[in-house]
A = this chain, B = another copy of it.
Amino acid sequence: MKIGEASRLSGCHIETIRYYERVGILSPTVRSESGYRCYADHHIQQLRFILHARELGFSVDDIRELLSLKEQPDLSCQAVDSITDKHLHGIRNRIKYLESLARELRRISASCPGGDIAECRILEALGNSSD
């Protein structure tokens, strides 16, 4: 099948499919006489895997590694767990960071009486280095 159908079946944009091939997480395809990429079922499977992993926020590098591990069924899945844990850890850190930002913004915003710019506490707070 050609890239258009692969796109419809996998849910990946055409340009993204070509991108995944370029960065080496999607296996290269056979080419037709005219140079069109020809996709097989396993490509669709791969694309769905990639898409789902991306939806869960895994990086392309993580996915490369996950796909490579997938090819070695006899290995312990500890490496997979480790990638997942690291990723989860990263997400939790980002959440904590964003929560602290939100708290701080809320605090600053609440302190502003809402009159003229001259008395705006938000701008004032931004002007002061560490408050």
Binding site for B on A (CB under 8 A): 11, 45, 48-49, 51-53, 56-57, 66, 69-70, 72-78, 80-81, 84-85, 87-88, 91-92, 94-95, 98-99, 101-102, 104-106, 108-109, 112, 114-120, 122-123, 125-129
The contact of A122 among B81, B114, B115, by CB within 8 Å, is: B81
- Taken together, the copies of this chain in the complex come to 2
A57 touches B112 (CB 8 A): no
| Cβ of A92 to closest chain B Cβ, rounded Å | 6
| Cβ of A63 to closest chain B Cβ, rounded Å | 9
Question: Which residues of B have CB within 8 Å of A45?
Answer: 127
The contact of A91 among B51, B101, B108, by CB within 8 Å, is: B101
